[in-house]
Structure 1
Amino acid sequence: VINMGLINKAIKFVFDRNYRFLALDQRGVYNSMDDKEYLERKYESIFNIKLDLENPKTFNQKMQWLKLYYRRPEFTQYVDKYAVREYIANMLGEEYLVPLLGVWDNPNDIDFDKLPNRFVLKCNHNSGLGMCICKNKDALNKEQVINGLQKGLEQDYYLTGREWPYKNVKRKVIAEKYLVDESGVELKDYKLYCFDGKVKLIMINSDRNKDCSTKADYFDADFNYVNMTWGYEQSSVVPSKPLYFEEMKMLAEKLSKGMPHVRIDFYIADNRVYFGEMTFFDGSGFDAFGDIKYANMLGEWIKLPEPVVRD
């Protein structure tokens, strides 16, 4: 039986240089490539236009510029899901931290007997790979979880999009309390996009841990709905304004002061706000906007700073 799908992919691999780059990139072929050259090639391969680093306009273009030319050393602590806890405790207070259940250098050292029935395990240096959201410890395949975490620890997350803050994070596994929001069903993720210390856009992620795809809905700083798509589908029911919306805005603006752009994530559980993470390169600057006007709008909000270059 002739597999036409494989044949078409092979033809595309030979004749489409952008497709070929992305396919080889997934296999680590370009891991040793210079950051600037890599980002230029990847950007062109995804968007089919050249990356303009001399006069970047859109959000995604400016993300690539910031990766290359705005390398503040403290950002490495801020993206480290374990090390950032000290920073958040000092800036906001320990009450905003998701309770920590354990931290390990080696997943084989995890004592599952000491963990509660529900918990979250994740690596401190990446996004997704290795994460375990445990809702019932009795049904947990511990060997599978340990193997997943080991793969996560082995991932060089910096190489996936040349987001340099992840380059020097000392990799660990952390366990945190399993949180449930006011619905008692799923935990929404509130992502506040900050520009020079001001919240200008809010994304609400829903259906994050369900079998269906994650949804995203956007709102301005006054919680007016923004009808845009960016990397995710919109939900079928527009989320309502969260109870602690103004508090999250205040916290995000405090953390983002003096930064050209950062995304601050929060959860709401147990009738309180919890800090999630800080992200400097949403989607690594490679998620397409449904309408170019929003790519330009967010791009205009980023005022590029004087370069700060380091390895």
Structure 2
Amino acid sequence: MKKTFFCRVVEKLNRENYLDCLSDKMYLKLVFRAKMGMRLNLQNPQTFNEKLQWLKLHDRKPEYTSMVDKYEAKKYVAERIGEEYIIPTLGVWDNFEEIDFDSLPNQFVLKTTHDSGGVVICRDKISFDKKKAREKLEKSLKRNYYMQGREWPYKDVKPRIIAEQYMVDESGYELKDYKLFCFDGFAKAMFIASDRYKAGEETKFDFFDMDFKHLPFTNGHPNAEHEIKRPESFEKMKELAGKLSEGIPQVRVDFYDINGQIYFGELTLSHWGGMVPFKPEEWDYKFGEWIKLPDSIGGGVSDCQ
């Protein structure tokens, strides 16, 4: 979707923090209209993206903060499905200066705990560009992710840097994400993210139903040109995602599959922040049908029914 002049202006104001003074509700109405090209209906939300905005305002359980913290989430998930699904953490620090690179292996991954995109991959310490890594991670640490999308769970996440074990899947060069859309204990759809770190390639998103039938739409990125194979552990992923989503109106549960072994990636309560169109639009409504809000809109969703 080509950005309108209005959208470009709102994005610029947002980047420069001029929208920080707005209430969460006013902010979401303004940015949603700019990015989606339509008014946000909070009185009777119908689409997936509309309902995510409603949940941002009304579904604010304290445990959500731990769920989206990339360090604390590992403890949260391990307590519910087991330690065997957790990627080993090699260290956690409050700033870049504290990182003890001598203690890290030749290959590792650095991530900021409080945002999206603050990732640096080291495939070889000898050629690792520490200056570039510092610039990216320090910029991420300063980023107020809550203010940029009003996703309440991130508001009190402590910005830190963690190091994780470096892993690749059967491709030998990447780690595909298997991202399951779950609704109060049930996985309904998923997408597989591929080509994320392939030079010169745009990331690919391919959506599937729970029978692994390819779904005919796009959302944010194009489909892959090659066949995406069903992961060996697909059925187990669905089972684990169901457990992790019990009692939650909507959450995306991300996994990796390495030779049949499942590893937890992250939990996301607002896919794309709820502000990226589905093409065709009918799929925004289809996904929206799976989110069950209270019969009387306006209260909380403490019962998640």
Give the counterpart of 2:195 among 202, 207, 210. Answer: 207
Q: Is the 8 A contact 1:53 1:61 kept in 2?
A: yes
Give the residue type in structure 2 aligned to 1:267: Y
Instruction: Give yes or no for the alignment of 1:85 onto 2:85.
Output: no
Q: Which amino acid aligns with 2:275?
A: F
Q: Distance in 1 between matches of 2:110 and 2:70?
A: 12
Output the amino acid matched with 1:243. E
Give the C-alpha shift of residue 243 in structure 1.
Answer: 0.3
What corresponds to 1:252 in structure 2?
Answer: 241
The C-alpha deviation readout for 1:105-144, integer Å capped at 9, x for no partner, is 1210111111111110010110113x21111111112132
Gaps of 5+ in 2: none
Offset of residue 28 of structure 1: 1.2
For residue 156 of structure 1, what is the amino acid of its counterpart?
Answer: N
Contact map agreement 1:180 1:270 (CA 8 A) in 2: no
Q: How does 1:193-272 map to 2 (within 5 A)?
A: 193-211=181-199, 212-269=201-258, 271-272=260-261
Confirm or deny that 1:291 pairs with 2:280: yes
Amino acid at match of 1:219: F
Residues 64, 285 of structure 1: 8 Å contact kept: yes
Distance 1:132 1:248 in 2: 26
**Shift in Å, 1:17:** 4.1
Among 40, 57, 65, the residue aligned to 1:51: 40
Partners of 1:64 and 1:111 in 2: CA distance: 40
How far does residue 20 in structure 1 lie from its aligned partner after superposition? 2.1
- Asked whether the equivalents of residues 217 and 238 of structure 1 are also in contact (C-alpha less than 8 Å), the reply is no
CA–CA distance in 1 between the matches of 2:113 and 2:22?
25
Question: What is the aligned counterpart of 2:262 among 273, 285, 288?
Answer: 273
Cα distance, 1:229–1:166 mapped onto 2, change above 3 Å: same
Instruction: Give the deviation of 1:308 after TM superposition.
Output: 5.3
Matched, 1:109 2:92: no
C-alpha distance in 1 between matches for 2:301 and 2:182: 20
Map 1:61-210 to 2 at 5 A: 61-129=50-118, 131-210=119-198
Aligned pair partner of 1:304 in 274, 283, 293:
293
Shift of 1:89: 1.4
Equivalent pairs counted in the alignment come to: 295
Q: Which amino acid aligns with 2:300?
A: P
Contact 2:90–2:164 (Cα < 8 Å) also in 1: yes
Please tell me the residue identity of whatever aligns with 1:153.
Answer: L
Residue 295 of structure 1 aligns to a residue whose secondary structure is helix
Q: Counterpart of 1:66 in structure 2: which amino acid?
A: L
Please say if residues 268 and 274 of structure 1, whose CA atoms lie closer than 8 Å, have aligned partners that are also in contact: yes
| Secondary structure of 1:303's aligned partner | coil
Provide the C-alpha distance between the structure 1 equivalents of 2:23 and 2:49, rounded to a whole number of angstroms.
19
What amino acid does structure 1 have at the position aligned with 2:166? Y
Partners of 1:89 and 1:197 in 2: CA distance: 17
Structure possessing the higher radius of gyration over alpha carbons:
1
- SS of the residue 1:75 aligns to: helix
Q: What amino acid is the match of 1:170?
A: K
The alignment's TM-score, normalised by the length of structure 1, stands at 0.91
Superposed displacement of residue 149, structure 1 = 1.4
Contact 1:72 1:308 in 2 (8 A): no
- Partner Cα separation in structure 2 for residue 202 and residue 287 of structure 1: 16
Identity in percent: 47
Unaligned runs of 5+ in 1: 1-8
String of CA shifts for 1:282-302, please: whole Å, max 9, x gaps: 000011111111000001110
Please name the residue that 1:38 is paired with.
27
The question of whether the paired residues in 2 share the 8 Å contact of 1:262 and 1:280 is answered with yes
- Which has more helix, going by share of residues? 1
